């Protein structure tokens, strides 16, 4: 349904904008505790919007890196379980440059979704 507008990301962004710009200031004036909770909800909506918008490409990049790193094709979950098994068994560690490159790229993608202002 990619041709349908507004997209899920656009809807999430519009809801977050309304809550941030109109609802939160009104709550701050009348009920500070609810204003704080509204800011938490707005931040959660922003994370969801970025997840919808950026998540599929991030997952695809992670999957490609894991296929190259592990030398086999499987689902993203299966590849991550295999990598975890190799790390637990000591087959791979921080001396593996390809592993560290993969982990750094995966973490950067996850931070871009969770908290893009972090860097």
pLDDT digits (tens, 9 = 90+) for 57-107: 999 999 999 999 999 999 999 999 999 999 999 999 999 999 999 999 999
Q: How far is CA 42 from the centre of its chain?
A: 16
CA distances from residue 109 to 11, 97, 104, 118 in whole angstroms, order as listed: 22, 18, 9, 12
Q: What is the pTM of this model?
A: 0.81
Q: Where are the domains of the chain?
A: 8-114
Element (H, E) at 1: none
Amino acid 3: pLDDT: 74
The H or E element containing residue 58 is helix 32-70
Residue 92 CA to residue 96 CA, distance in Å, equals 7
Give the tens place of pLDDT for each residue, 21-48. 999 999 999 999 999 999 999 999 999 9
Rounded to 5°, the CA angle 63-54-64 comes to 15
Taking each helix axis from N to C terminus, what angle separates 97-114 and 32-70, rounded to the nearest 10 degrees? Answer: 150
């Amino acid at each position: 349904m990619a041709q349908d507008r507004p997209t899920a990301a656009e809807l999430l962004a519009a809801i977050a904008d309304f809550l941030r710009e109109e609802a939160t200031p009104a709550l701050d004036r009348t009920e500070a505790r609810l204003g704080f909770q509204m800011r938490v909800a707005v931040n959660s909506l922003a994370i969801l919007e970025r997840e919808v918008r950026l998540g599929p490409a991030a997952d695809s990049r992670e999957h490609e890196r894991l296929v190259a790193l592990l030398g086999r094709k499987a689902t993203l979950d299966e590849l991550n379980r295999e990598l975890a098994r190799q790390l637990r068994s000591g087959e791979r560690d921080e001396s593996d440059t390809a592993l560290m490159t993969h982990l750094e790229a995966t973490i950067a993608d996850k931070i871009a979704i969770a908290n893009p202002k972090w860097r």
